[in-house]
Every structure is written in C-alpha cells, then in structure tokens.
Amino acid sequence: MLGPELELHRQIEVLYNDHHGWLQGWLRRKLGNACDAADLAHDTYLRIISRGRAPGPAESRQHLAQIANGLVVDLFRRRHIEAAYADAIAAQPEAAVPTPETRALIVEALLEIDAILASLPAKVRAAFLLCKLEGMGYADIAARLGVSISSVEKYIARALLACCMAQCA
C-alpha cells in the first residue's frame, strides 16, 4: 500500500476497533434486530471506505450515526416498497406473477425511481405522480396544487428530465 492508502487503512482500523461495538448496539436498539444491525454497521464502514476519508476522532460517533441513520431510512424505504409491490402482485392471477428474478429487478427499478422522485421538490414530484399514476390532466393537477398550467408543464418536464438523466447515468 502507498502512504495515503496505508494511513486511511490505519484510520479506518482504529475507527472500527473503537466504535464498531457501539455502532452495532446503537443500530440493534434502533432496529430491534441484531442481523439487520450487523449488516448496516458493515455497510456504514463500507461507505466510509468508499469515500476515502475517515472522520476525525472527535466526530467519529456522530459521523457513524449519521451514515447509519441514512442506511436505516434506506432499509425502511426498501422494505416499504417491497411490501407495496408484494401486495400489488398478490392481487394478480398466478400466471401473471413474475419470477423471483424478475421481481428483484422490478424492486430495484422501483427503488431507483423512488430515489429520483425523492430528490425532486414536492410540487414537481406531486405533479408527476398525479399525471402518471392518477392519469390526471394538467388543468386538474394545476387546480389540485394551486399553480398554473404552465407550472405543471414545467414540473412534469423537470421530473421526466430527472428520470432520463438517471437512465443515461
């Protein structure tokens, strides 16, 4: 290993040795599940490694908790999406139910769409969902959101652009 890589490795080793037990316990209390806590503690350290920078000693626990809390939110969001999808396919005839592999791909796509939509301002997201999921026209969306039709047009265009940009990335 080179000098900076060796130093980062040492910093992460110290961070892990000093705080892994605390982090896993914190997550276990938050989640009520030791297995999920172990997975998210592991993922927390992977995030730090992938960023290539360990927090300083004074901010270690705060930094770990911030990353881990984001992973907890992601876990709950994923489970919510998986449950909603499972409910949707449960209503389908057995012949129309996708294979487990296809289900996994669909859930991943839904998670990507959810992340894209979550990054958009509330009115943009609402306009897009009302248009695409509810089938509402622009005038009805404008009335519901209390904005002009031209604003709705801009909102839909912005949401579509965000989806297209994510697909190209």
**104: amino acid identity, one letter:** A
**28: amino acid identity, one letter:** R
pTM metric for this prediction: 0.76
CA gap 142, 150 in Å, rounded: 9
Query: What are the residue ranges of helices labelled H in 32-148?
Result: 34-51, 60-90, 100-118, 122-132, 138-145
Six-digit token pair at 6?
């060796």
pLDDT in tens, the chain (169 residues): 567 788 888 999 999 999 999 999 999 999 999 999 999 999 999 999 999 888 988 999 999 999 999 999 999 999 999 999 999 898 888 888 899 999 999 999 999 989 999 999 999 999 999 999 999 999 999 999 999 999 999 999 999 999 888 878 6
- Angle 91-93-94 (CA atoms, 0-180°, nearest 5)? 110
Six-digit token pair at 154?
């801009």
